[in-house]
């Protein structure tokens, strides 16, 4: 569908978007025009941009064609339903790229900007920089490939973000499926996300609720949300939330697992298929007051480390085959199906 949007100076451009996306495009155009008092709307990329004006290139897309943004072209809009490729200017500041009803590919490298992808099943490549992406309607399936950049993503479409390396940040008010395919460091600021890693990954949670599936080597640091962490085939490190609001579930993989308790309610499950490998359950006096449950503990291989504590600060209670470890600062640790003595605890 074609809708009109206004640009600075009283001109209009046409977008092929649904009503919600039209509102997002109008807001983005208003932001883009703040530094200008006039604009020029062009119908082809080979038209010379006007000086001291916001230059909007409103293009009727041709199927299979690639449109590449040049210097001075602040806004590019693809009209219609033809599937095309739109490549933004590298390292540009304040870019605005708007897709259409087709299955578009949109590329952004460095710089900052906004991408409104439109409907269809779209593929967005982001390398470096900081981009805000607004996806299409709920029946669309959009994929964002992120390599070393900051991404804010919204919209109603089904969203998959593939993290291919670098240091990355993702913020989303909704649900996002995140796949880490290569070694990467990822910080999640908010949202309701599922993270799957096939390689080495470091994931830091924020206010988001995260479900993490580990790969060959994983480190997950929980935020203030509710995290579920599942270890993979390699060594896994799970750090529970340091916030009382956090409720975290940590399940070890087949490698060596490190579980570090937080201030919330934590469930720690040893890796059942780990063979001869051992797990370490660590509790720190600097992060006190949590309530923890350990399942699958093997006294012959696994280890409970109490950092910053002395043996005089520990009370052991045995009941029903379980061991309750109570620390003087109010931390409670229940070890299921295991009878543990004071001498089996490690103090550092």
Block residue for tokens 């529970």: 240
What long-range pairs does 212-216 form, CB within 8 A, spacing at least 24? Answer: 214/253, 215/180
Block residue for tokens 């693809």: 78
Say what the pLDDT of residue 40 is: 97
Out of 41-55, 82-96, 210-224, least confident range: 210-224
Residue 219 above 60 pLDDT?
yes
DSSP element (H, E) containing 238: strand 235-239
Confidence at 281, pLDDT banded by 50, 70, 90: very high
Residue 112, C-beta contacts closer than 8 angstroms, at least 6 positions apart = 92, 93, 94, 95, 129, 130, 131
DSSP conformational letter for 165: S
- Please report how many Cα atoms fall inside a 13 Å half-sphere around the Cα of residue 276, on the Cβ side: 0
Q: Which two tokens stand for residue 79?
A: 């009209």
Query: What's the pLDDT tens digit per position in 39-85?
Result: 999 999 989 999 999 999 999 999 999 999 999 999 999 999 999 99
Confidence at 143, pLDDT banded by 50, 70, 90: very high
Counting residues of the chain whose pLDDT is more than 90, the rounded percentage is 60
Distances (CA, A) of 123 to 91, 196, 201, 217: 20, 19, 23, 28
Boundaries of every domain in the chain: 1-136, 165-348
Is residue 57 within 8 Å of residue 38, measured between CB atoms?
Answer: no
CA–CA separation, 38 and 50 (whole Å): 10
Cα–Cα nearest to 128, from 164, 175, 157: 164
User: How many Å from the N-terminal Cα to the C-terminal Cα in the chain?
Assistant: 66
Of residues 174 and 287, the one with the higher pLDDT is: 287
Say what the pLDDT of residue 192 is: 72
DSSP element (H, E) containing 32: helix 19-32
Residue 97, C-beta contacts closer than 8 angstroms, at least 6 positions apart = 69, 75, 76, 86, 88, 106, 108, 113, 114, 115, 116
Query: What's the pLDDT tens digit per position in 95-131?
Result: 999 999 999 999 999 989 999 999 999 999 999 999 9
Residue 174 above 80 pLDDT?
no
CA–CA separation, 6 and 2 (whole Å): 13
CA–CA separation, 336 and 334 (whole Å): 6
Is residue 69 within 8 Å of residue 92, measured between CB atoms?
Answer: yes
Residue 148 above 80 pLDDT?
yes
């Amino acid at each position: 569908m074609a809708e009109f949007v206004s640009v600075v100076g009283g001109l209009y451009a046409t977008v092929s978007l649904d009503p919600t996306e039209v509102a997002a495009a109008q807001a983005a155009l208003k932001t883009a025009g703040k530094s200008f008092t006039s604009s020029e709307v062009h119908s082809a990329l080979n038209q010379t941009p006007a000086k001291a004006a916001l230059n909007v290139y409103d293009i009727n897309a041709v199927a299979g064609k690639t449109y590449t943004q040049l210097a001075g072209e602040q806004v590019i809009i693809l009209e219609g339903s033809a599937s095309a490729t739109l490549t933004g200017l590298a390292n540009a500041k304040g870019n605005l790229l708007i897709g259409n009803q087709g299955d578009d590919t949109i590329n952004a490298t460095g710089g900052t900007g906004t991408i409104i992808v439109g409907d269809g099943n779209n593929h967005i490549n982001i390398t470096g920089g900081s981009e805000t992406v607004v996806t299409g309607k709920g029946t669309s399936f959009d994929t964002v490939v992120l390599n070393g950049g900051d991404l804010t993503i919204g919209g109603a479409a089904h969203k998959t973000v593939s993290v291919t390396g670098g240091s990355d940040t993702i913020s989303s008010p909704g649900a996002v499926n995140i796949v880490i395919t290569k070694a990467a460091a990822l910080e999640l600021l908010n949202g309701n996300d599922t993270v799957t890693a096939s390689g080495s990954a470091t994931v830091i949670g924020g206010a988001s609720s995260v479900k993490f599936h580990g790969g060959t080597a994983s480190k997950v640091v929980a935020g203030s949300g509710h995290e579920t962490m599942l270890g993979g085939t390699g060594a896994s490190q799970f750090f529970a939330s340091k916030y009382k609001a956090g409720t975290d579930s940590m399940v070890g993989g087949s490698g060596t697992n490190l579980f570090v308790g937080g201030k919330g309610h934590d469930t720690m499950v040893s890796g059942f298929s780990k063979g001869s490998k051992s797990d370490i359950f660590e509790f720190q006096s600097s992060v006190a007051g949590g309530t923890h449950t350990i399942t699958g503990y093997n006294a012959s291989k696994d280890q409970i480390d109490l950092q910053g504590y002395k043996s005089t600060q520990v009370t052991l209670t045995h009941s029903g085959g379980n061991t309750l470890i109570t620390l003087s600062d109010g931390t409670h640790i229940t070890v299921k199906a295991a009878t543990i003595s004071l001498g089996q605890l490690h103090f550092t």
